[in-house]
Amino acid sequence: MRKTLSVLLITFLTTQLTFSQERYITDEEFKQRVTWLLPHEENIPLKDVIEKVPGYGGGKWEVDGILHFDIPTGIISSHVKYIEVPYGRTNITSECDCGIIIKTIVTEKEFNSRKNILNRLNLKRNKKRKK
């Protein structure tokens, strides 16, 4: 009985880990695609460059799923790969009652999301000229 439970448990865990479809963005991929900071801003705390984010008006911070009441000081601005500013406090898509959502580890889907403000702040994006 114990052997069958052990085999089933091991089989279940390995299949869950092996068939995961999420692909995470590495630091190198992020730097190739997006540049939202100037060279002198890459190694300073995020709280010093947060004024670049449009729509942020203060409030609580959600950083990698943890809610902070004050600005977290240990986050380096170049490690941030996703920034979202929930519009309205009754936003159904956002689970937190916070002013800004920050993620340092993101999947491909989150990275390409319309909610990711870093896609709009990207200095490398091609700007189309109006005719």
pLDDT digits (tens, 9 = 90+) for 89-103: 544 455 667 888 999
**Is 7 within a domain?**
no
Model pTM greater than 0.95?
Answer: no
Listed in sequence order, the residues at least 6 apart from 1 whose beta carbon sits closer than 8 Å to its beta carbon are none
* Euclidean distance between CA atoms 51 and 57, whole angstroms: 9
User: How is the beta sheet containing 61-63 ordered, strand by strand?
Assistant: 66-68, 61-63, 100-103, 82-84
Is residue 82 classed as helix, strand or coil in its secondary structure?
strand
Whether 31 is in a domain gets the answer: yes
In a domain, 1, yes or no: no
Q: How many domains does the chain have?
A: 1
pLDDT of residue 91: 45
* Residue 93 belongs to a domain: yes
- The 8-class DSSP code of residue 106 comes to -
Residue 84: domain span: 23-121
Task: Tell me which residues of the chain have a pLDDT lower than 50.
Answer: 90-92
The residue among 105, 42, 40, 107 whose CA lies nearest residue 76 is 42
- Asked whether residue 6 is domain-assigned, the answer is no
Q: What is the pLDDT of residues 46-63, one digit of tens each?
A: 888 888 888 888 788 899
For residue 60, tell me if it sits in a domain: yes
| pLDDT confidence of residue 130 | 58
SS3 label, residue 63: strand
92 within some domain: yes
